[in-house]
Structure 1
Amino acid sequence: MSKHATSWRIRFVAGLALLLASSIPASAKPIVVGKPVDLVLCLDVSNSMDGLIDSAKIKLWDIVNDFSKIKPTPELRVALYSYGSPRYSAGAGFIRCELDLTNDLDEVYKRLNALRTYGGEEYVAGVAKAALDELKWSANPKALRLLFVCGNERADQDPRFKIADVARQARRMDILINTIHCASAESGDDPLWKELARLAGGKGVNIDQNRNVLDKPIPTPHDDDLRKLSGELNKTYLAYGNDRLEAAKKQMDQDKAAEAAAPAAGAARSASKASALYRNDAWDLVDRLKNDSKFQLKDLPEDQLPEELRKLSPEKREAAIQAKCKEREALQARIQDLAAKREAFLRDARAKEPKKSAEKAFDEALRELIREQAATRELVIPQ
């Protein structure tokens, strides 16, 4: 081939590359996929566990926000089990899977808020084994798989399964079992809780389950603004599909549930909604078009479109979605800025408080263990 022909081909390929690059929308950024993280919470719902459940309601969004600080953002999925209620099947060990692993954080919070305590038998080994056997855990060898069992009775009550056997199964599956025993130092420690965690490669801790509930909340100058911006953020969602109305309602319902749990929970949820972890591809067109390169708006049946898009031409529909996307990004940036200021305010306020009791609160124990174990997969959560 002549030098002239070779030079011409090089110029042609370079020009074609520039043309293709210019056709990509400026707002389209390559999505860097982080490592998978599976987080499973097994919560005791026997009579004395109201403090534990309330703590989870108050602090779930703070836990989510910790994961959102990891770069690149991980693919977080959460599952929920409850155990210890006589209302559940005795044949299943008084254990119930409330929700399989999902990235639908609104659904997780909805199921968490639906939990009710009621006296019964608490089978720690059984609930851990059920989670190991039943859930669709990530098969990615780089995934972080965390299973937390939280409760207050003896850990060896299950007549069907032995702690050591369950721990060995978890190790084979590369799943870390952590135990959170809700007994104060005064009421006594059950070493078998920590033994289960140790044998499974995790860690066991004691907590004061009522600390998150009884601790006086610290108001910040940013709480009201975060609440308002969260409401504005909801207006940028374009619900589609057969279940669009229910999905949009669920989002608003969980806003209210977080505020009802504690004002701090509402503010933390606002921050979560501004993070990359809060994705609603299944019902929101903005998220779907942003995250799913194969999705075509023209393929969506007319009756599954949001009402406000049906009256527009196909070209104007795309433009309307892009406008909502830009509006959302601007709101998310404002929320992230306020959330960082709120976090700094709380950090300074807590530093001035007198030292708490020796037992950690639910979220302190959980977040400390998550930070520690995430680091083993090179997932760094900044302090």
Structure 2
Amino acid sequence: MKTYFKTLLFGMALIGFTACNANNKKTNTDLAQAEITVQKPSKQYIKVALLLDTSNSMDGLIDQAKAQLWDIVNELSYAKCGNNKPNLQIALYEYGNDRLNGDEGYIRQVLSFSEDLDEISKELFSLTTNGGEEYCGQVIQTSLNQLNWGKNPDDLKLIFIAGNEPFTQGKINYKDASTNAKEKDVTINTIFCGDYRQGINISWKDGASLTNGDYMAINQNNATVHIASPYDDDILILNQKLNKTYVIYGQAGSQKMALQAEQDTNASLYSKANAVSRTVSKSSHLYKNKSWDLVDAEAEEDFKYNDLKASQLPEVLKGKSEAEIKAYVAKKRIERKRIQKQIQDLNNKRKLYVSNHKKDTKNGLENAMTKAIKEQAKRKKYSWD
């Protein structure tokens, strides 16, 4: 019996070590230790820190970030790490803006790593530009110091820095920042807003190559191209139905639901197609609202109905028994899954339509980021549906 148990335990350990990263080799000592301790595999994350120059000339860049956020999220939603779909965390920094603190390098952390896509959208829409000094090395180092990058070797950890001034400015050498990034397994990607050759001459390409990242150049003033499809109206109708499946709870519930509606509006300000892209994001596993929605919260391992106070419940559930609340949430969950599937099915048709009509229209920031992410994800053995 002891031999059988030991063999079983060892087999389970080997399964646990089957990682997305094929280069993550285990020594004999590691495997021996695995006989003693069996750990659950960690969740995989795609961690993206977006460092945006918000000096005077960067209005077009900020506009592209606002308009193309949901297309980028949608592309990342198709990523797979083995049989798992990795989670997404996005952090946001602005730099090079005179309104920021000069003693801190004209740098501001707008948002730490977050899975709250509505909050990320809100903060993007809050950005404004103003003249300033752009210190690329310092903003990279600041993001390395402040953010929790974690130590999971299967996480994809990426910095995207965009701007148009020399990469060498500031008191922190970008080469030193790159060395520190490599120690944290973070890849730096640079997006120069201007002529490709000019970006090379002022070290933007070197800033990427030191961590085997990608260097890209975009015209930040190009308008985002959104292609309408025959499926857009139906998807937007489903978005309205999807919003009705959210069951608010807690002090922030009403406020967060209002934020959700606000970001729906912000997306639609650019075009109907952009609103559709946001709706598609809301139908993916990356759109999570466990802090204020009972349907998402209930799916968490540590959630307990006993912890809910009557004051935290929406009016429709106040005075209801636990069994009645569970039944109500289960009904909303079924509705949501059905609606999300309908959105995904329509989006598959929409993607085919858009690909047939896209021709040579490529959106700068979106194309640069998704191309780099996919290439670098291959090193971690990620795949795309």
TM > 0.5: yes
CA distance in 2, matches of 1:184, 1:227: 38
Structure 1 residue 156 corresponds to structure 2 residue 159: no
CA distance in 1, matches of 2:276, 2:199: 35
Paired residue type of 1:38: K
Q: How does 1:276-287 map to 2 (within 5 A)?
A: 276-287=285-296
CA distance in 1, matches of 2:227, 2:46: 31
Q: Deviations over 1:18-50 (max 9, x none)?
A: xxxxxxxxxxxxxx9752111110001011111
**Residue 203 of structure 1 corresponds to which residue in structure 2?**
214
CA distance in 2, matches of 1:138, 1:212: 36
Q: Closer, same or farther in 2 for the Cα pair 1:334/1:186, shift >3 Å?
A: same
Partner of 2:128: helix, strand, or coil?
coil
Partner of 2:288: helix, strand, or coil?
coil
**Residues 171, 201 of structure 1: 8 Å contact kept:** no
Partner of 2:104: helix, strand, or coil?
coil
**Residue 13 of structure 1 corresponds to which residue in structure 2?**
none
Partner of 1:242: helix, strand, or coil?
coil
Partner of 2:195: helix, strand, or coil?
coil
**Residues 54, 261 of structure 1: 8 Å contact kept:** no
**Residue 170 of structure 1 corresponds to which residue in structure 2?**
181
Paired residue type of 2:96: G
**Residue 19 of structure 1 corresponds to which residue in structure 2?**
none
Paired residue type of 1:234: N
Structure 1 residue 100 corresponds to structure 2 residue 103: no
Partner of 1:91: helix, strand, or coil?
helix
2:380 pairs with one of 354, 373, 377? 377
Paired residue type of 2:232: D
**217-226 or 339-348, which deviates more:** 217-226
Q: Deviations over 1:298-356 (max 9, x none)?
A: 32010001211114222111100000000000000000011111111110001xx3x46
**106-115 or 258-267, which deviates more:** 258-267
Q: Closer, same or farther in 2 for the Cα pair 1:229/1:327, shift >3 Å?
A: same
Could you tell me how far 1:157 is from its partner in structure 2?
1.4
**Residues 39, 146 of structure 1: 8 Å contact kept:** yes
Q: Deviations over 1:3-24 (max 9, x none)?
A: xxxxxxxxxxxxxxxxxxxxxx
2:351 pairs with one of 343, 357, 373? 343
CA distance in 1, matches of 2:166, 2:87: 34
Could you tell me how far 1:295 is from its partner in structure 2?
1.1
Could you tell me how far 1:191 is from its partner in structure 2?
4.3
Could you tell me how far 1:110 is from its partner in structure 2?
0.5
CA distance in 2, matches of 1:294, 1:172: 33
Structure 1 residue 122 corresponds to structure 2 residue 134: yes
1:262 pairs with one of 253, 257, 271? 271
1:86 pairs with one of 80, 90, 98? 98
Structure 1 residue 274 corresponds to structure 2 residue 274: no
Any runs of at least 4 consecutive aligned residues in structure 1 with deviations exceeding 4 A, and if so which? 185-189
1:329 pairs with one of 327, 337, 343? 337
2:60 pairs with one of 24, 48, 51? 51
Paired residue type of 2:94: S
1:62 pairs with one of 62, 71, 76? 71
Q: Closer, same or farther in 2 for the Cα pair 1:356/1:308, shift >3 Å?
A: closer
Point out where structure 2 has 5 or more consecutive residues left out of the alignment.
1-40
**Residue 6 of structure 2 corresponds to which residue in structure 1?**
none
Partner of 2:384: helix, strand, or coil?
coil
**Residue 193 of structure 2 corresponds to which residue in structure 1?**
182
CA distance in 1, matches of 2:344, 2:223: 24
**Residues 210, 361 of structure 1: 8 Å contact kept:** no
1:132 pairs with one of 139, 144, 149? 144
**310-319 or 105-114, which deviates more:** 310-319
RMSD: 1.7
**Residue 236 of structure 2 corresponds to which residue in structure 1?**
227
**Residues 73, 277 of structure 1: 8 Å contact kept:** no
Could you tell me how far 1:212 is from its partner in structure 2?
4.1
Paired residue type of 1:104: D
Point out where structure 1 has 5 or more consecutive residues left out of the alignment.
1-31
Paired residue type of 1:118: N
Partner of 1:341: helix, strand, or coil?
helix
**Residues 178, 207 of structure 2: 8 Å contact kept:** yes
Q: Closer, same or farther in 2 for the Cα pair 1:73/1:270, shift >3 Å?
A: same
The structure with the larger Rg is 1
TM-score, normalised to structure 1, is: 0.86
Q: Closer, same or farther in 2 for the Cα pair 1:348/1:380, shift >3 Å?
A: same
**Residues 33, 75 of structure 1: 8 Å contact kept:** no
Partner of 2:94: helix, strand, or coil?
strand
Could you tell me how far 1:98 is from its partner in structure 2?
0.2
Could you tell me how far 1:138 is from its partner in structure 2?
2.2
